[in-house]
């Protein structure tokens, strides 16, 4: 029996059999091209190599482990930037008329052969580097899409090096027991999705792959942040009992489905759901939330190569709005950038993507795409109760521009005789410190505010939400956060506007009473957390908690805040 430490993304225990998901074999077609195709193959080569170099740059930037690993990635980049590489590939294509895949695989096979025959142990290590680079480049060129979950059974726990948000949704759809990821962080979007689906997942499990074999018994202990490999019989029995207890607690919570989220001292709190993919609407309806407080629309486009058309978006929004009605569906416009889906919009490589062209900036830089989304939302609003919300607003300037674009869209739809409904509440996400500071002015220009604590913590404390190695600095109860939430709520309430919290802070039991005492009107949480949070609301006496508020607001450290709450 072995234990490996990690960081749990969602609480709870999972028991299953290990299934290691590795990179798969690539099929390389060897064929002769026609002379007229040479130019095209060479341009493909340039584009694909640039893409992979950018990808490596991003990995180097994001890499949280060791300098040594970063150096390896740097050396992979050098292989692709070597002028000899370009010269040889160009020769294979232009003179020998090889297709691009054939040219690349020939080059790397020859290079690996040379190094492995050198009889020098240092240089022979370079063989695996060449193989790695070849795999990275060729799998990008071949755009491999093999379904790696094809032969995975339901009692599996998947072991992977890293994971994308789209893969998490596939795992959920297959009803697989859990996930253990060597890299990753608790606040990434893959983790948020796993949590919203109550899917047991451990991230940052360094060294796991080398310590595990397929089909070994595994236990994810999400309550204590570790994985147990080949547990003894008695440990397995103990965890089976814990698992059963957890199921009983979950079943017990189901009794709260029809209970209103009203605090002990009689305040009704709106309890909404966050969704990422349309299928989650079924969970929203099952747990009877007060509506959808955040629909992260960028995840709709997760598997698509092209952006969805206005018509495609309209159909999706319409369906969800109809199902959610009369409760609201709050649609947040695309928030790509940072760790999110930069591939679909062809965003140029950025040194600091989280400070780059993301959120509303992407929409304002790509007006035709933004207009498509706005028009689809305006049209779908005929079929339900839609609110629209904008991400990463830094101040009133952007908000005014956005409102202007909504006006233009309405006019264009009218002119084209296309039915729509512009009677729609307009909200702003407060997730940048400048938006907190100017929340009085922002509140005047919109109908409601929604605090995105995930980013607000990241930008207020200057700590990358995706970098697990500095996660100790990511403190939801840092005094600056408490004061930011209070300032935002006070500014909005002064002019009768409501404030929601839709970041992960709202989904964490331990912060619920604090948020309510700070005056937050609505909480929007992962559907999987809805009943747990409802129980917390029902158990909360806001008046009692408010009596501590002055002391909480004058705390100097997050530790002091945690003690008081």
In the complex with Mg ion, which residue's Cβ is closer, 16 or 353? Answer: 353
Stretch near ligand PEP under the rule CB under 6 A, chosen from 3-11, 79-87, 307-315, 448-456: 448-456
> E strands, 100-233, where?
156-160, 178-181, 201-203, 217-221, 226-229
By CB neighbour count within 10 A (0-12 exposed, 13-18 middle, 19+ buried), where does 433 fall?
middle
Among 225, 455, 466, 508, binds Mg ion (CB under 5 A): 455
Euclidean distance between CA atoms 337 and 298, whole angstroms:
10
Q: Cβ 132 to Mg ion, closest distance in Å? A: 33
Alpha-carbon 315 to chain mean position: 24
Judged by CB under 6 A, the number of residues near ligand PEP is 10
Should residue 502 be labelled a site residue for ligand PEP when binding is judged by CB under 6 A? yes
The radius of gyration of the chain from alpha carbons, rounded to an integer in Å, stands at 26
Should residue 165 be labelled a site residue for Mg ion when binding is judged by CB under 5 A? no
Q: For residues 542 and 516, is the Cβ–Cβ distance under 8 A? A: yes
**Is position 502 annotated as part of the catalytic site?**
yes
Should residue 296 be labelled a site residue for ligand PEP when binding is judged by CB under 6 A? yes
Structure tokens at 352: 């600091």
Stretch near Mg ion under the rule CB under 5 A, chosen from 229-237, 285-293, 447-455, 527-535: 447-455
In the complex with Mg ion, which residue's Cβ is closer, 431 or 504? Answer: 431
Stretch near Mg ion under the rule CB under 5 A, chosen from 37-45, 170-178, 426-434, 483-491: 426-434
Should residue 335 be labelled a site residue for ligand PEP when binding is judged by CB under 6 A? yes
- Identify residues 223-282 at the interface with ligand PEP (CB under 6 A): none
The order of strands in the sheet holding 178-181 is 2-5, 226-229, 217-221, 13-20, 156-160, 178-181, 201-203, 7-8
Euclidean distance between CA atoms 140 and 137, whole angstroms:
5
For residue 330, give the 3-state DSSP assignment: strand
Which of ligand PEP, Mg ion, none has residue 296 at its interface (CB below 5 to 8 Å by kind)?
Answer: ligand PEP
Should residue 452 be labelled a site residue for Mg ion when binding is judged by CB under 5 A? yes
x/- mask, ligand PEP, residues 462-501, rule CB under 6 A, reads ----------------------------------------
Should residue 339 be labelled a site residue for Mg ion when binding is judged by CB under 5 A? no
Euclidean distance between CA atoms 195 and 193, whole angstroms:
5
Catalytic residue (choose from 76, 102, 189, 383) = 189
In the complex with ligand PEP, which residue's Cβ is closer, 202 or 360? Answer: 360
Which of Mg ion, ligand PEP, none has residue 503 at its interface (CB below 5 to 8 Å by kind)?
Answer: ligand PEP
Judged by CB under 5 A, the number of residues near Mg ion is 3
Stretch near Mg ion under the rule CB under 5 A, chosen from 123-131, 306-314, 448-456, 536-544: 448-456
By CB neighbour count within 10 A (0-12 exposed, 13-18 middle, 19+ buried), where does 245 fall?
exposed
In the complex with ligand PEP, which residue's Cβ is closer, 178 or 452? Answer: 452
**Is position 189 annotated as part of the catalytic site?**
yes
Q: For residues 429 and 480, is the Cβ–Cβ distance under 8 A? A: no
3-state secondary structure 263-290: CCCCCECEEEEEECCHHHHHHHHHCCCC
Give the chain's largest Cα–Cα span: 82
Euclidean distance between CA atoms 128 and 116, whole angstroms:
10
The residues that touch Mg ion, with contacts defined as CB under 5 A, are: 431, 452, 455
The residues that touch ligand PEP, with contacts defined as CB under 6 A, are: 294, 296, 335, 431, 452-455, 502-503
Catalytic positions:
189, 502
């Amino acid at each position: 029996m072995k234990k490996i430490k990690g960081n749990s993304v969602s609480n709870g225990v999972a028991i299953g059999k290990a299934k290691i998901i590795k990179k798969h074999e690539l099929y390389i077609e060897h064929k002769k091209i026609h002379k007229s195709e040479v130019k095209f193959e060479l341009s493909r080569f340039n584009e694909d190599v640039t893409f992979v170099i950018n990808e490596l740059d991003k990995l180097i930037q994001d890499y949280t482990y060791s300098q040594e690993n970063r150096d390896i990635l740097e050396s992979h980049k050098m292989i692709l930037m070597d002028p000899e590489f370009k010269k040889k590939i160009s020769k294979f294509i232009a003179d020998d008329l090889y297709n691009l895949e054939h040219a690349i695989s020939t080059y790397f096979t020859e290079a690996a052969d040379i190094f492995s025959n050198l009889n020098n142990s240092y240089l022979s290590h370079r063989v695996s580097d060449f193989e790695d680079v070849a795999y990275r480049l060729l799998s990008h060129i071949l755009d491999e899409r093999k379904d790696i979950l094809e032969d995975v059974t339901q009692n599996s726990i998947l072991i992977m090096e890293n994971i994308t948000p789209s893969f998490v949704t596939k795992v959920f759809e297959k009803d697989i027991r859990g996930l253990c990821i060597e890299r990753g962080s608790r606040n990434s979007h893959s983790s948020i999705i796993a949590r919203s689906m109550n899917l047991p997942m451990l991230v940052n499990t360094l060294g796991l792959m080398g310590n595990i074999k397929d089909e070994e018994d595994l236990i994810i202990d999400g309550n204590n942040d570790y994985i147990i490999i080949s547990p003894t019989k008695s440990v397995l029995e103990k965890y089976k009992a814990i698992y059963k207890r957890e199921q009983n607690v979950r079943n017990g919570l189901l009794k709260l489905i029809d209970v209103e989220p009203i605090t002990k001292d009689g305040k009704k709190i709106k309890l909404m759901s966050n969704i990422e993919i349309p299928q989650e609407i079924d969970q929203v309806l099952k747990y009877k939330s007060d509506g959808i407080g955040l629909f992260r629309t960028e995840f709709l486009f997760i598997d698509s190569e092209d952006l969805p058309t206005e018509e495609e978006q309209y159909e999706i929004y319409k369906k969800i709005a109809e199902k959610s009605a009369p409760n609201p569906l709050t649609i947040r416009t695309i928030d790509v950038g940072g760790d999110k889906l930069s591939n679909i919009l062809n965003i140029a490589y950025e040194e600091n993507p989280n400070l780059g062209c993301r959120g509303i900036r992407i929409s304002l830089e790509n007006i035709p795409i933004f207009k498509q989304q706005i028009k689809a939302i305006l049209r779908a609003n005929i079929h339900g109760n839609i609110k629209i919300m904008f991400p990463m607003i830094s101040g009133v300037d952007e908000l005014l521009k956005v409102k202007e674009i909504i006006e233009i869209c309405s006019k264009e739809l009218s002119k084209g005789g296309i039915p729509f409904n512009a009677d729609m509440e307009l909200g702003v996400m407060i997730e940048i410190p400048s938006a907190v500071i100017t929340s009085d002015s922002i509140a005047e220009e919109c109908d409601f505010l929604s605090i995105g604590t995930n980013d607000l913590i990241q930008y207020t404390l200057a700590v990358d939400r995706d970098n697990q190695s500095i996660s100790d600095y990511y403190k939801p109860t840092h005094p600056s956060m408490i004061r930011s939430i209070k300032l935002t709520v006070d500014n909005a309430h002064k002019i009768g506007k409501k404030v929601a919290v839709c970041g992960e802070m709202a989904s964490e039991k331990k912060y619920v009473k604090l948020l309510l005492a700070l005056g937050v009107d609505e909480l929007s949480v992962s559907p999987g957390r809805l009943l747990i949070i409802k129980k917390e609301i029902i158990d909360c006496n806001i008046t009692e908690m408010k009596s501590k508020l002055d002391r909480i607001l004058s705390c100097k450290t997050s530790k002091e805040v945690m003690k008081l709450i």
